[in-house]
Structure 1
Amino acid sequence: MTDASPAAFPDDSLEPTADDDVIQDPRLWRKDGWTARVMKNEDDDGWAVAMIKDGEPEPALVGPWTMGRDKKNPKPLDTSAFNTLVKTASEVLRRHEQQLHALLHKRVGLQTGDGDIDVTLDIVPDEYEPYAVLTALDTFGEQIAQVRVAPSFKLTKARAESWAEGGFGRIE
């Protein structure tokens, strides 16, 4: 749609300062930790809006923006539009966080002779040395065992059962 990378904002007008926490211009709003910026959509004749959370290098949301009555300029930002954009951008960030959590954290429930056990796999995506931690928890959430495994380890019910039957030893 449009280039919304930090380079697309050559000025420093998006950097929050203590002096200007709130900006309410027709094409730039800043309030409550969010900045909305309306810009020309380079791919067509329309306009786009980017929503950037303070401190983040990339926009959380970039989408089309409505043309004004003159069909040349963008519709000015207003309180209602800004609030809707904040809500939508927040939901996008929340979905990304949920997706990342689902990728990095797995859980399998087991029934053993000693009771129910939860086996969890938590992947630590370290830039240089990623790893994962396999943990067995009893019914009360108390840790029974924990081992470090490769980040590529696939947690399945069969593997969790095998680990439990083997006395929760190291996994190669």
Structure 2
Amino acid sequence: MDPQHDTPDTPDTGEPEQIHEPRLWKDKGWTARVIKNEDGEGWAVEMIRDGSAEPALVGPWTMGRNKVDPKPLDATAHQTLVKTASEVIRRHEQQLHAQLNKQVSIEMGDDVISVRLSITPDEFEPFGTLTAVNAFGDVMATVNVRPDFRLTRESAGRWAADGFGKIR
């Protein structure tokens, strides 16, 4: 039994539990829950991906015909909400990746070198990894740097000019 909803779990078919109620719709790895707006006016819907503690999306929800109760959830609304919430997560992941990974190209003689910075956001000891890669994809050098290291064409050029040594 699911203690939160007093409904039996799906039999041992390996399929995740599905709930299809007017204010709670759980299906396809997502839960949509219609909730009262915090300001007391109207309704909102929150979308929570299975395994997540926080909603990926919270947005306004349509009032029903009586202008008091919320419009009930249905399969079409749930699918639209899943698509929207998935897009929000995808954009967040892209933004985080862009913040943690940078790349510049520099010229060394006749070669074009790609210098990449990857930040590892550890809670206690975050650090960056600076990597030089030649045009064939071969790693030429790798060093650890401070997590606030600023990768620019100039800083990459100085690193290359110093023989790809340790950066202080």
Q: Normalized against structure 1, the TM-score is what?
A: 0.89
Consecutive unaligned residues of structure 2, counting only runs of 5 or more, are none
Percent identity among equivalent residues?
A: 58
State the AA in 1 paired with 2:101. H
Consecutive unaligned residues of structure 1, counting only runs of 5 or more, are 1-10
Q: Of the candidates 114, 117, 138, which is equivalent to residue 142 of structure 1?
A: 138
Instruction: Look up the SS of the partner of 1:170 in the other structure.
Output: coil
2:4 corresponds to 1:12: yes
Q: CA deviation at 1:142?
A: 1.1
- 1:68 is aligned to 64
Where do 1:1-172 residues align within 5 Å? 12-13=4-5, 18-19=10-11, 21-172=17-168
Residues 3-43 of structure 1: CA deviation (Å, up to 9, x unaligned): xxxxxxxx734xxx555611110100011100000011121
Count of equivalent residues:
159
The answer as to whether partners of 2:130 and 2:145 remain within 8 angstroms in 1 is yes
Q: Tell me how far apart the structure 1 counterparts of residues 108 and 152 of structure 2 sit (CA, whole Å).
A: 16
Residues 112-167 of structure 1: CA deviation (Å, up to 9, x unaligned): 11511100000000011000000000112110000000001000100000101111
Q: Tell me how far apart the structure 1 counterparts of residues 164 and 125 of structure 2 sit (CA, whole Å).
A: 24
Instruction: Tell me how large the CA RMSD over aligned residues is.
Output: 1.3
Q: CA deviation at 1:79?
A: 1.0
Q: Tell me how far apart the structure 2 counterparts of residues 55 and 12 of structure 1 sit (CA, whole Å).
A: 15
Structure 1 moving runs of 4+ over 2 Å: 17-20
Q: Tell me how far apart the structure 2 counterparts of residues 157 and 93 of structure 1 sit (CA, whole Å).
A: 31
Instruction: Look up the SS of the partner of 1:117 in the other structure.
Output: strand
State the AA in 1 paired with 2:147. P
State the AA in 2 paired with 1:41. N
Q: CA deviation at 1:44?
A: 3.1
Q: Normalized against structure 2, the TM-score is what?
A: 0.91
